Amino acid sequence: MSEVKPDLVDVQIDGVWHQFPKGTRLIEACRQAGAEVPHYCYHPKLTSPGNCRMCLVETGMPPRPAPGAEPPQPDESGHLPISWIPRPVIACANTVAPNMGIRTTGAITEGCREGVMEFLLANHPLDCPICDQAGECTLQEYSVEHGKGESRFREKKVKKPKNVEVGPRVRLDDERCIMCSRCIRFTDEIADDPVLGFTDRGSHTVLTVYPGRELANNYSLNTVDICPVGALTSNDFRFQMRVWFMRETNTIDVNCATGCNITVYSRQNKIYRVVPRQNNDVNSDWMPDSHRLNFHWIDGESRLAEPMVKENGGHRVASWAEALAKTADKLASLSGAEIAVIASARMTNEELFLVNRLVKQIGAGHVEVVPRLGEADGYLISADRNPNTNGVKLVLGIESPGSGLEGVKSGIEEGRIKAVLCLQENLVEDGGFSPELLGKLDFLLATYPLANPTTGLADVVLPGACWAEKSGTMINVAGRLQRLNKAVEGPGQTREPWEIVRDLIQALGGGNGIYSVTELFNQLASEVPEFKGLSWGQIGDLGISLIDTGETIPAIEREKQRKAAGLIVG
């Protein structure tokens, strides 16, 4: 069935004719034509209240001929002349019409913007030197581009509440608020937790939390992201670092199978904040607070930084060569049936690809992963807390991840399994393996970013990089292949898990010559049918649909419904 194309209308923007679907908002038409219209209250994923008035533009339509007069004649391009309306309109709440004209610049438009900026800045405090929003504040940017450069306001500025805790993770400075209402609409329309509102009138209007309530839902920090000024700030990031000092890395979240697209902000190998990155097929513009704040452990005291081997009941630091050699010697003395490999659904496809080679190299009789299941929240948190379960199914060929763990446990109990290679997992706390059970093994290898009960029992411990310290690909719950990009370097002698598995294969006598994750992806694409013909560059920053899992992301489905109803642009 052929796709139904929307009706297109001709619209002139700054003297150039374009075509847009009926119903396109003026602000979006201008953006698509390369003419950015300044705005504060408008957000494409929220309804348009039209209250900031910053997006005023001039519009016009072909004139209606007077009775008995000759109708206007089209010009050389076939369009009728435009009669301009002598008053501006807001671009966020009006839609295009056939043969409409739009001017984004001009005396009327620019004069209106100067007036709006002067009005907004009349009572705004001079907090820029201490404001977290400095460097990414549209009030700063627009004051330069559209402001008058001076203020005629000589009276004392209105004083409003400062440093107010409106929730456990968000702080409000009401003096900075420009009443755009983005946060109010977000809590009402997206988070379904309408706890914010305006009270009082005129210059004394304030943003507040309803009595007896607080901004405590698990998506509260998204209000900080969309606040165009520094009125709402994150308790976690507040006064930590100036944004222009930090490096931005586009990557994905690994706290669940949704795989929210994120940007990691870091400086001098330390992560300072994580914010959502727009991807309309995965997480729209949002992400859960619980996921974005789960990064402080990365530079915590429990990080493993050097290989270790057990000696005389305790661990000592060893070289990589010694640790790998000890592992290889022990595995060489066992048959494949006596070895189990426990990988992780938190590993990338490239790492799992090498795990598969390792399993074949040693002839391991058992290979499994540890499942992580929780409750879906109906928005962006998936019930599957592993980010790459679909990768496990495709690359390792395990159809029901976790179904073989009981067999591994019984094998250890009965003495049939004598060695376990635990790759990027914590078997004691997450896999249900008791310390007493693991103590029956002749050999236990553990790779992990943090010291944990499993590494404490291991004969060889290898420091494996965490999600922010490695690159690779993962497949989310909806079957979308996405790239994980390295944001910081691991501490000490930490290595990426694919490098650890590669070195294990080499120590066991298997050569490969792989020295980059992109080269490894090329080998993966040549051997796994679902990846055939793909290149690293094709995946891009937003990923590509790889397989049909039959699963959907609730928040994206809700957004599609709102877009179809005409409530948002999407």
Question: Where do the DSSP E strands lie in 109-177?
Answer: 164-165, 170-172
Alpha helices by DSSP H, listed for 54-106, are none
Together in a domain, 339 and 236: no
Domain closes at, from 72, 105, 138: 105
- Rounded distance, CA 430 to CA 108, Å? 64
Per-residue pLDDT of the chain (570 residues; tens, 9 = 90+): 445 456 899 999 999 999 999 999 999 999 999 999 999 999 999 999 999 999 999 999 988 877 777 777 777 777 888 999 989 999 999 999 999 999 999 999 999 999 999 999 989 998 999 999 999 999 999 999 888 877 888 888 899 999 999 999 999 999 999 999 999 999 999 999 999 999 998 889 999 999 999 999 999 999 999 999 999 999 999 999 999 999 999 999 999 999 999 999 999 999 999 999 999 999 999 999 999 999 999 999 999 999 999 998 899 999 999 999 999 999 999 999 999 999 999 999 999 999 999 999 999 999 999 999 999 999 999 999 999 999 999 999 999 999 999 999 999 999 999 999 999 999 999 999 999 999 999 999 999 999 999 999 999 999 999 999 999 999 999 999 999 999 999 999 999 999 999 999 999 987 767 889 999 999 999 999 999 999 999 999 999 999 999 999 999 999 999 999 989 987
Supply the DSSP string of 343-374, one letter for each residue: E-TTS-HHHHHHHHHHHHHHT-SEEEE---B-
pLDDT digits 0-9 by tens, 217-252: 999 999 999 999 999 999 999 999 999 999 999 999
Domain closes at, from 85, 105, 125: 105
CATH classification of the domain holding 199: 3.30.70.20
Domain closes at, from 299, 333, 363: 299
- Please provide residue 515's backbone torsions phi and psi, each rounded to the nearest 5 degrees: -125, 5
The reported pLDDT for the residue numbered 294 is 97
The candidate with the shortest Cα–Cα distance to 443, out of 306, 333, 282, is 333
Together in a domain, 375 and 422: yes
Cα 68 to Cα 56, 62, 64, 65, 75, distances in angstroms: 35, 17, 11, 8, 21
**353 falls within a domain:** yes
**116 falls within a domain:** no
**137 falls within a domain:** no
Q: How many folded domains does the chain comprise?
A: 3
Query: What letter represents residue 311's amino acid?
Result: E
Together in a domain, 393 and 474: yes
Together in a domain, 336 and 354: yes
- Rounded distance, CA 120 to CA 142, Å? 11
Together in a domain, 258 and 345: no
Structure-token pair, residue 461: 């411990």
Together in a domain, 288 and 400: no
**138 falls within a domain:** no
The set of residues, in sequence order, having a beta carbon less than 8 Å from that of 318 and lying 6+ positions away, is 306, 307, 308, 309, 326
The set of residues, in sequence order, having a beta carbon less than 8 Å from that of 313 and lying 6+ positions away, is none
Together in a domain, 288 and 317: no
**332 falls within a domain:** yes
- Rounded distance, CA 494 to CA 462, Å? 8
Q: Which residues pair with 19 in a beta bridge?
A: 10
Query: Is residue 520 a contact partner of residue 354, using CB atoms and an 8 Å limit?
Result: yes
Query: Is residue 305 a contact partner of residue 294, using CB atoms and an 8 Å limit?
Result: no
Together in a domain, 27 and 101: yes
3-state secondary structure of 193: coil
- Rounded distance, CA 362 to CA 22, Å? 63
- Rounded distance, CA 482 to CA 476, Å? 8
Together in a domain, 343 and 469: yes
The candidate with the shortest Cα–Cα distance to 472, out of 352, 368, 293, 342, is 352
**120 falls within a domain:** no
- Rounded distance, CA 52 to CA 68, Å? 43
Q: What percent of the chain has pLDDT over 90?
A: 88
The reported pLDDT for the residue numbered 463 is 98
Question: Where do the DSSP E strands lie in 194-287?
Answer: 196-199, 206-209, 232-234, 247-252, 261-267, 270-276
- Please provide residue 232's backbone torsions phi and psi, each rounded to the nearest 5 degrees: -110, 125
pLDDT digits 0-9 by tens, 79-136: 888 999 989 999 999 999 999 999 999 999 999 999 999 999 989 998 999 999 999 9
The reported pLDDT for the residue numbered 213 is 96
Structure-token pair, residue 372: 């992580």
Structure-token pair, residue 161: 């509440």
Question: Where do the DSSP E strands lie in 395-548?
Answer: 419-423, 443-448, 460-463, 472-475, 480-484, 544-545
- Rounded distance, CA 108 to CA 86, Å? 8
Supply the DSSP string of 508-567, one letter for each residue: TT------SHHHHHHHHHHHSGGGTT--HHHHTTT-EE----S---HHHHHHHHHHHTTS
Q: How many CB atoms lie within 10 A of CB 374?
A: 11
- Please provide residue 559's backbone torsions phi and psi, each rounded to the nearest 5 degrees: -65, -40
**545 falls within a domain:** yes
Together in a domain, 214 and 245: yes
Alpha helices by DSSP H, listed for 244-319, are 289-292
The residue range of the domain holding 228 is 157-299
The candidate with the shortest Cα–Cα distance to 238, out of 208, 272, 271, 215, is 272
Q: Which residues pair with 170 in a beta bridge?
A: 234
The set of residues, in sequence order, having a beta carbon less than 8 Å from that of 36 and lying 6+ positions away, is 30
Together in a domain, 312 and 195: no
CATH classification of the domain holding 42: 3.10.20.740
Structure-token pair, residue 253: 């979240």
Together in a domain, 445 and 463: yes
**134 falls within a domain:** no
Question: Where do the DSSP E strands lie in 27-126?
Answer: 56-61, 83-84, 89-90, 100-103
CATH classification of the domain holding 522: 3.40.50.740
